Structure 1
Amino acid sequence: MNIDLNDLDLNSIGTWPLPAKIIAIVFLSIIIIFLGYWTDTKKQLAVLDAADAEELKLRQTFENKQSKAANLEAYKEQMATMKASFGALLRQLPEKTEVPGLIEDISHQGLATGLEFRTIRLLPEKEIDFYVELPIEISVVGNFHQFGEFVSNIAALPRIVTLHDFSIRPITPEASGDNLVMNITARTYRYTAGEKESETKNETK
């Protein structure tokens, strides 16, 4: 059956042929479904996508916190070990009042090995980040064996002392191997962060 669209009157749909009515109903249904999707379903899908993204974010946050909680005890133990090691190192650094005693210890170690001191004096200190470097200029007379024993004894001191910039030469051009001069710089270090905290507390009192 052929349908002429020009013969169809929108004001009298009830008189349309059955095929035309079916086509009109299908067409209107498609329009209604499309409008429903566009105005409502699409918004609901957007809300659902946002909820999925939020769920994923919360799940990742939960997993991260769960992982941290599981490793918390190990982390605490590691921090305690690091603090203990750091504290042990700090105890090896001399306080201001201990520097003269350290110089005396170095002098004693040299004399015990038979060295003759020409110079031992504290040079100007250098502040570096959270610590102060305290250089000590040393010049001694002796032989290679005595120098080696002296250096070993300095390394065995309970305070941290490092040795730098050493040179060895005969005391005179005609001198024997038992008359050598060794010039060396010993460096010790002082932790300053604790001092600054104490000064700050005293200023606020």
Structure 2
Amino acid sequence: MAKNIDLKAIDLNSLPQQSKPVQLGIAGAIIVIILILAYFFVYSGLNGQISQLREEEEKLKQTYTEKSRQAAHLDALKAELDSINGSFNILLKQLPTQAEIPNLIQELHECATKNGLNMDSVTPAQVQNTESDNQTDKKSEQQVIQTLPYNITLTGNYNQISQFLRDVGKLSRIVTLNSIVIKRNEKDNTLTLNAVANTYKALTDAEIKAQNNDKK
């Protein structure tokens, strides 16, 4: 029967003189200690790296899924963009050129005369650049559409003014009426319309370039 080995009583210097069971026991203990240390210093670190790599793998899978979904809708998005560009180009063609603006003012006069209204005044107001409602940086946004406002004053009855407003909407070029104020004239029971007639002009490449130079 093997005797119990007291490791504390063993002198490592005399290890070669010890019996085989003692030597094997000590060697086994050393191997166990080495394996335990190796686990804590090597395998535990590897487990951390493996966990990190798994997290990165999940993120990459999510990114891949999102990119795949976007790629699947790419053709539809391109078609939608082409449709938007087509609609935008149609609207641009409805904007008057600089040479057409005097004719447009003349058309407003004709609409008023046709409906029996007196065009009391048409005066240009301050020119404005059209800005986006979602603008976050006014200095960096490029303006491509310019608003050309005119203050107009008309006098007539209710039916004449109503028909005038409808006729303005049918003009060949885009004109909008804003800031409409209608007052009754007590002397002759007529109505006076004060409004801002806005038309819009697409800026030329030279005007856009000058605009960018001013911002710089």
**Residues 120-154 of structure 1: per-residue CA shift (max 9 Å, x gap):** 23233223442322111222221111000001111
Match of residue 150 from structure 2: 136
Describe how 1:40-51 pairs up with structure 2 within 5 A: 40-42=42-44, 44-45=46-47, 48-49=50-51, 51=53
Give the 3 Å change call, closer, same or farther, for CA 5–136 of structure 1 in structure 2. Answer: closer
Greater shift in the superposed pair: 128-137 or 107-116: 128-137
User: In the alignment, which residue of structure 2 is the partner of 1:192?
Assistant: 203
Matched AA of 1:174? K
Specify the alignment match of 2:164 in structure 1: 150
Residue of structure 1 equivalent to 2:128: 126
The AA in structure 1 aligned to 2:111 is: Q
Once structures 1 and 2 are overlaid, which stretch shifts more, 102-111 or 144-153?
102-111
Give me the TM-score of the superposition, normalised by structure 2: 0.74
Q: Tell me the CA shift for residue 193 of structure 1.
A: 6.8
Give the Å deviation of 1:42. Answer: 4.7
Identity of aligned residues (%): 29
CA deviation string 1:103-130 (max 9, x = no partner) = 1111111111111222123233223442
Query: Given the superposition, is the C-alpha separation of residues 22 and 123 from structure 1 closer, same or farther in structure 2, using an over 3 Å criterion?
Result: same
> CA 1:142 to 1:5, structure 2 compared with 1: closer, same or farther past 3 Å?
closer
Match of 1:12 among 11, 14, 23: 14
1:61-108 per-residue CA deviation (whole Å, 9 max, x = no partner) reads 432332222111111111111112222222222222221111111111
2:89 is matched with 87
- State the AA in 1 paired with 2:74: L
Offset of 1:191 from its aligned partner?
2.9
Structure 1 unaligned runs (5+)?
Answer: 201-205
| Coordinate RMSD, CA, aligned | 3.0
Q: Secondary structure at the match of 2:146?
A: strand
Structure 2 residue 176 is the aligned partner of structure 1 residue 174: no
TM-score normalised by L of structure 1: 0.77
- Structure 1 segment 160-171 matched on structure 2, within 5 A: 160-171=174-185
Q: Which moved further from structure 2: 72-81 or 134-143?
A: 134-143
Secondary structure of the residue aligned to 2:193 is strand
Give ranges in structure 2 of 5+ residues lacking alignment. 132-142, 212-216
